[in-house]
A and B are shown apart, each in its own frame.
Chain A
């Protein structure tokens, strides 16, 4: 009720931002990228513990062969994404976290020989078998989180999942990988969704898509009508950034608030990216390990494309496939313009959960004093107060950050986008979170 009154008083709903969309590849059919001559596979392509290496230099591997196994529950195995020889085991800078990470370089034999995969009917499998197949295939959240999927499929017994939301919002500018997947492959997405529903015994499922993707909505709607699934619904979202963040999505679709410091499973909801659902289907029905993902290669490249890319491929290989960098492009991001991570080198290898490679122009913006205009508060989807984080981090009053629920911030960057003083609020929030963590561990 309070929320409705707030919305009325607001005249127009201003939470979230509306960056220009630049969906250059919305009409471009997904192609399989020609295989590179080598891949660099990182041992940590997921959140959780790094995988433990199983191969050594000189080993011959096949595509899909397990080369590193999960060590703990929250971890995921890594599979070879090319057939060929293990050329080198080295330490490389992780393209997303910047940490030094063990990596295996495989030089292709050009044949792309696959390990044998067992095709089964998912309906004949038990829940445990399904989870085991997902876990063995190394499926992780492909929307950007990289959280191991088998963990999400095993919620604690006292917190059953009643609703699954397939996240097809794709609210970030430029990226079209999920949109194209929904248009071209609704079968895999919906089958993956059904598998997840079965495993979790969920009663309802929603496929949430932003209103500005009518083709994907129409395609899925037609497909669902053919199947006649009474418990799978399509939910059309307002187009707004960051609609695809789990907490925002749950609020929009179900009207449930995820309390600060809690996760979606605490309110009985599982949010899964549509790309991940397709990967779940592949792993369960086809026994296929996760070795590739659809990525949008876009921005200042000559021919932006949606490509099915093997993990470990160097960004430079993909950019060459798209005709090279246009004049002026001098910055490489893994991810979209809002959440993307800037890369040190064009040779950075892609990892699981990278859904976009964006070449853009770096713009230097002078940071000015905060004028307390409170735009950041207005746009924050979690109703937080980013300007207080900025103040407290600058004053080094880190202990006060918790009073303003900094942990709830999911770093979507809407505040920094809206800030008229060009303050990099997300960087301040990063510092604040780190310092708060340090203080806690000191206590």
Chain B
């Protein structure tokens, strides 16, 4: 499908950035994730006697997105397990592509994080691969803000695909240009993150550019399958994701909450949809 092709093309800059900064670690994690995601899809479809549909590239996109969310020092077999679970538990058992409630890549990552807490750590510095805290961990422990320019280019420690804001934004701009992106969702998330960080007296750019907010808001919250189908709902969905992320960053024991925010809001999508029917319909109901 064109939509998935466009998504894959849009992820090219982020993938290049991941390979550039995290070298062999990134190469292994990304390729293992894609191979196992596609393999799991084939095996599932064979076992369930379904037509083999790997040519629609949806398994490739899930595998790639999953790979980009991983910490650079995660063992390859956990990446393999997570990628397979993304496909099987995140997508196939719901009825396949289009019927899942949760974003499959994030669902797989969630399972790995819960089953193997700490497996993503230690985070590594780019290129030299020395253990180092992520900008959000540093900020939490010492109150030091990483230079914004480093955050923008991605020259910081973190998960392999999340660090380079520049690469992610470039890819997303292309998606918007192709008309396949729900730009309202990330915009709403950015607005709520900005407002909340200003209220807390933090630099909003630091919060916007650090952690997995950019990757999550641009490429995971916008998954059409697991996001609201009306513009009004998209604003609500995005704003709530931004809110939950900031709640996690301020008060939770975790440094980061993008994954929880998106998965949690995925659950609420049917409710949001039910309350944001198309304009015409709501107009009519008002008149009654």
Contacts and interface: CB of A to CB of B under 8 A. Distances in A.
B3 interface: yes
A380 B98 contact: no
A273 B206 CA distance: 61
B280 A384 contact: yes
B200 interface: no
B2 interface: yes
Interface stretch (B13-21, B136-144, B222-230): B222-230
B43 interface: no
Contacts of B97: 368-369, 371
A372 interface: yes
Given A372-B229, A374-B230, A260 B281 contact: yes
Contacts of B281: 260, 383-385, 404-405
Given A384-B278, A387-B229, A368 B284 contact: no
A364 interface: no
A370 B2 CA distance: 14
Contacts of B279: 2-3, 6, 383
B224 A259 contact: no
A42 interface: no
- By CB atoms of chain B within 10 A, which of A3, A370, A374, A377 has the most? A374
B278 A259 contact: no
Contacts of B96: 369
A374 B1 contact: no
Contacts of A100: none
B59 to A, nearest CB: 14
A350 to B, nearest CB: 35
B98 A408 contact: no
B117 interface: no
Interface in B60-113: 95-99
B231 interface: yes
A420 B1 contact: yes
Nearest to B96: A369
A194 B209 CA distance: 66
Contact of B224 (A368, A373, A384): A373
B277 A9 contact: no
B280 A405 contact: yes
B98 A259 contact: no
Interface residues on B, range: 20 to 34
- By CB atoms of chain B within 10 A, which of A368, A372, A383 has the most? A372
B280 A383 contact: yes
A382 interface: yes
Given A259-B287, A420-B1, A420-B3, A372 B98 contact: yes
**Chain A interface, >50% SS class:** loop
A421 interface: yes
A373 B278 CA distance: 14
A372 B283 CA distance: 23
A6 B231 CA distance: 9
Contacts of B278: 377, 380, 383-385, 404
Interface in A346-387: 368-374, 377, 380, 382-385, 387
Nearest to A386: B278
Given A372-B229, A387-B229, A420-B3, A260 B98 contact: no
Contact of B3 (A369, A371, A377, A380): A371
B230 A377 contact: yes
Nearest to A408: B280
Contact of B280 (A9, A260, A371, A387): A260
A132 B231 CA distance: 51
B280 A374 contact: no
A387 B56 CA distance: 21
A377 B225 contact: no
A259 B229 contact: no
Nearest to A374: B229
Nearest to A10: B231
A439 to B, nearest CB: 20
Contact of A259 (B95, B227, B284): B284
A263 to B, nearest CB: 15
Contacts of B225: 371-372
A374 B277 contact: no
A404 B277 contact: yes
Nearest to A9: B231
Contacts of A420: 1-3
Interface in A234-260: 257, 259-260
Contacts of A408: 280
For the complex of A and B, the 7 pairs showing the least CB-CB separation, nearest first, are A369-B98, A383-B280, A374-B229, A373-B224, A371-B98, A383-B278, A260-B284
22 contacts: A2-B279, A6-B231, A259-B287, A260-B284, A368-B98, A369-B95, A369-B99, A371-B1, A371-B3, A373-B224, A382-B280, A383-B279, A384-B281, A385-B281, A387-B229, A404-B278, A404-B281, A405-B280, A408-B280, A420-B1, A420-B3, A421-B1
Given A369-B99, A371-B224, 17 more contacts: A9-B231, A259-B284, A368-B1, A369-B97, A370-B98, A372-B98, A372-B229, A373-B224, A374-B229, A385-B229, A385-B281, A404-B278, A404-B281, A405-B280, A405-B281, A405-B284, A421-B1
